[in-house]
Structure 1
């Protein structure tokens, strides 16, 4: 049967380089119309200057477009890619002018900015700088959205205009935020209740990260074949040949620098300790690598204490080039094996913890500002920051050799990366209210920082953990064996979800629901709710 539709004109505004993305957005809106128009009685009619404008005169081209199309639009959908566009008499581009006119007329405006990859180099740097400047100018007037792919743009436009359609369905919508907590599932989707089983925090790390350094050092050491000791050299029946062989052996075992009797006491044969040999053999065995009989043999390599204690430049290790090369390879092998053992211990400790990745949702039709979320966490589940597992100092100094490496390693299990389903915590910041965050500074260069540590250690690692959780406050709850985890969001846009700053570590998956309270400037009273978890299988 016939349905009466109320039509709302949507202006597709964009610079010329975003024409392809505008077609993607137009397709998404047409799909929303096909799916929801009959049930809501709302229809979106697309206005496009390329199709709906006509020849005219008497004013600047942009003013003619404003009169023909912009003034008739009920909603503006603007897309920017790599260019800001051509300036007009009053604004930096025609697209900016259309956005500002719509905002001044109190019309809804949806703005989508293409997010380039990290290694992106703009073809026209000045155009890209103008886009960044425009973002700053509108940050306090509208919440814009970023996208990386056409599919993300399609998903975002579909989501936003579906919500917009249902909001318009009610002639007198009650403009209130509707806030709640949800969790991010392993599939990237949002789960309100029940939340799926949580995963171990250690599962994010690569368990074989150290394996390559072990196999590389092993291959280097195993490839060096040293002469066999005298006891293993073939016997000779001829007396002269036997004497010559013995003389050769003596020359191999006792370098000429030891010929003087005064220096003989400074000689010390270099050998790996039984502990290091056993460690390497066990780790290689775990990796399925067969240990050759003479892998740890260093031939006649020796340590000259006399030369090491003098002004002689070097470490006092003497021997052939092959002996020294094998010694260095074995030292790398032992170090890698120690890192492997410590890495396994660290992963085991992290796998004992589970992570709770939360988002705050606003399913209402109004912006929420100064949102404060309090999650009540039983002490039996809470993991204090100082109890979060850390590698030992030797591993940090050996494997995390600069500030960027230790930062990436420490933050990895707690990061929540933005997706097209939810926005990052930083996107909720009001730039005029939220202070800048300064990450820790680490250095291994005592010459540049004479009072700093020359090697990275657990103190540096703990600074990174503290930085991860600096946006979270932990306050004891009176009369309850629990702690309130407080997170503040400057603003949460309607029909959107914003991730927590970090994944919360727990000792184990909750078996009971967790209570929360949310407050915001627009709420008459706090929202009280619970999040429930799926039963373990």
Structure 2
């Protein structure tokens, strides 16, 4: 059966020569641990001793060569002392002491035992025995050791200590791995990836190419009208009028026109709007800019296929074309002024683009995000200015609310994912396969459609508190190493210094709390 990769821990046996009988007890204890616990936990303890794991090498002191070959790579050590301390090295009282110091300096585990076993006095080397006692005295302030009275006690204690240490190491390893595999959620600025600060941005719509194109169109109209002024008032009657008066003499035409048509006049409000624009933009209008010749408005209305009457004009093509161009200029300026008002309002707003990031190593679900914004700072979408009556249809046609308020997706940031509601804003009604007509919606209707589109973007749940405004929204699923944008940009009428947030989720047991500092450029 396939198994997960086994983790091997090397255990160094470091003992003077008078305790060689205990080496087999150490190996037996390790073998029993591997059989009982190692296979169940995918770990194995491997015994290392200079007599079996070193090899001939030159170029350095013998103990330093042993240190490089086996000691420094070991994960733990077991040391046993009885009456002998061992042969001194260049740096320490014995090779065993040097090996122990190497392990301690590397912050590795050392199992330390001192034997209290009877021995014939004549066999004791007083110098070596004194060195053991001195080392035991020094070591008591650096760690825990055990004194054993026979092999049975040693085997029992060492087996127990070995099991406690390595099983605890396994638990720590699993806990660490589990911690590493957890999702880790935070809120960051989408443009800088900072989880500490965010720099508010402005729309800058007044300098947009869209508005500039509308401005150029107005200038083109004015230039065309300045170049094509009508120099004289004509009294000629064109062919269309003659068709109505075939049985009447030429000298009676003027009398006839007075009965069937009125002079076309341009209202003062109409002129004022265009004049104001020209003055503001320092554009000079021709002295005969408003002259329409002898253009008349027909009192007889022409019926349309749908029963409505259409206004017709009596005059030359030049006169009719000029009047048509003036009307187009008027409405272009009306629209331009409404765009300017709408864009000015938007340009006074500062906003930030935030994202929720999972920088952990596991996915998360059912994520609830709560933002705490200081009172009086947040601009809710209900308080946004509606586009003017003459531009709202165009605004909706180009979906400007999505352009302005949604956070665009990038190669590293996903757009906010939520179910889209079906839209019922279409103005076209199919009457038959061969005939369609467009229903004209009132401005109030169009504002409702615009409000609906904003509601589809700003999907936050708002809660008013005495000191703050609370925003909440959900993310159903966010995989690891992934960032998802907020449903919309956050708009401010007054930029706060900080925004606090709280995040709860299915696989993050503790609430994540943090704050974003807002800094002006």
Tell me which interval the TM-score lies in, with the shorter structure as reference length. Answer: 0.5 to 0.7
Task: Tell me how far 1:217 sits from its aligned partner.
Answer: 2.8
Separation in 2 of the partners of 1:447 and 1:387? 38
Q: Secondary structure at the match of 2:411?
A: coil
Task: Tell me how far 1:462 sits from its aligned partner.
Answer: 1.8
Q: 2:381 aligns with which of 364, 376, 385?
A: 385
Task: Tell me how far 1:507 sits from its aligned partner.
Answer: 1.0
Separation in 1 of the partners of 2:333 and 2:199? 37
Q: Secondary structure at the match of 1:280?
A: helix
Does the 8 A contact of 1:414 with 1:468 survive in 2?
yes
Structure 2 counterparts to residues 258-273 of structure 1, below 5 A: 259=253, 261=255, 264-273=258-267
CA gap of 1:447–1:301, structure 2 versus 1, over 3 A, is farther
Q: 2:400 aligns with which of 391, 396, 409?
A: 409
Q: Give 2:503's aligned residue.
A: 518
1:228 aligns with 2:239: no
Structure 2 counterparts to residues 464-503 of structure 1, below 5 A: 464-469=453-458, 471-477=459-465, 480-503=466-489
Unaligned runs of 5+ in 2: 1-175, 246-251
Q: Secondary structure at the match of 2:351?
A: strand
- Structure number with greater Rg is 2
Does the 8 A contact of 1:181 with 1:361 survive in 2?
yes
Q: Give 1:301's aligned residue.
A: 295
TM-score, normalised with respect to structure 1: 0.55
Structure 2 counterparts to residues 86-97 of structure 1, below 5 A: none
1:441 aligns with 2:425: yes
1:197 aligns with 2:200: yes
Task: Tell me how far 1:282 sits from its aligned partner.
Answer: 2.6
CA gap of 1:313–1:491, structure 2 versus 1, over 3 A, is closer
Separation in 1 of the partners of 2:196 and 2:279? 46
CA gap of 1:172–1:325, structure 2 versus 1, over 3 A, is same
Q: Give 1:529's aligned residue.
A: 514
CA RMSD of aligned residues (A): 3.5
CA gap of 1:462–1:197, structure 2 versus 1, over 3 A, is closer
Q: 1:214 aligns with which of 212, 218, 226?
A: 218
Q: Number of aligned residue pairs: give it.
A: 331
CA gap of 1:337–1:450, structure 2 versus 1, over 3 A, is closer
CA gap of 1:380–1:172, structure 2 versus 1, over 3 A, is closer
Separation in 2 of the partners of 1:268 and 1:171? 90
Does the 8 A contact of 2:235 with 2:294 survive in 1?
no
Does the 8 A contact of 1:369 with 1:520 survive in 2?
yes
Q: Give 1:240's aligned residue.
A: none
TM-score, normalised with respect to structure 2: 0.56
Task: Tell me how far 1:343 sits from its aligned partner.
Answer: 1.0
Q: Secondary structure at the match of 1:191?
A: coil
CA gap of 1:211–1:354, structure 2 versus 1, over 3 A, is same
CA gap of 1:371–1:438, structure 2 versus 1, over 3 A, is same
1:278 aligns with 2:272: yes
Task: Tell me how far 1:420 sits from its aligned partner.
Answer: 2.6
Q: Give 1:176's aligned residue.
A: 182
Q: Secondary structure at the match of 1:373?
A: strand
